[in-house]
Structure 1
């Protein structure tokens, strides 16, 4: 018997609407935690950069945190401008 698959989007909406988890508060918290590194990247004049913190790599594209991946030492591909371009509606 095939089991129902749940998308990331549906899981987030369930957390937000079904459980009452404050997604906006989470986004503010992450933004505040990474603000110093983000501001440093902006001062350098780069639009796409990586933030390494706490064993994770935070991928910033055009001022938007688009993903977080483990810092496994193999992150050169994350600097490829074709990788993980922000999609419509990201960053809101």
Structure 2
């Protein structure tokens, strides 16, 4: 599951990287708890790159549709979608 949210904290100067990382990490964990999922990874695009936080999460208990319904109700969430794995097969 890939969750994309607006990230106002990306507008902050990163003077204290530990504090910044903690804020982002806690936000990702909170959304994952809402979806009964766990954070696999996340990446922040700073304000210059659109100010978005991409969170890759996984749930062993809920389906993709259930997670989408739960997270779509969150005000900061822009998009929730399956994390498709594309492979190039040889012929």
TM-score computed with the length of structure 1 as normaliser: 0.31
Highest relative contact order (Cα 8 Å, sep 6+), 1 or 2? 2
Larger C-alpha radius of gyration, 1 or 2?
A: 1
Greater fraction of residues in strand: 2
TM-score computed with the length of structure 2 as normaliser: 0.31
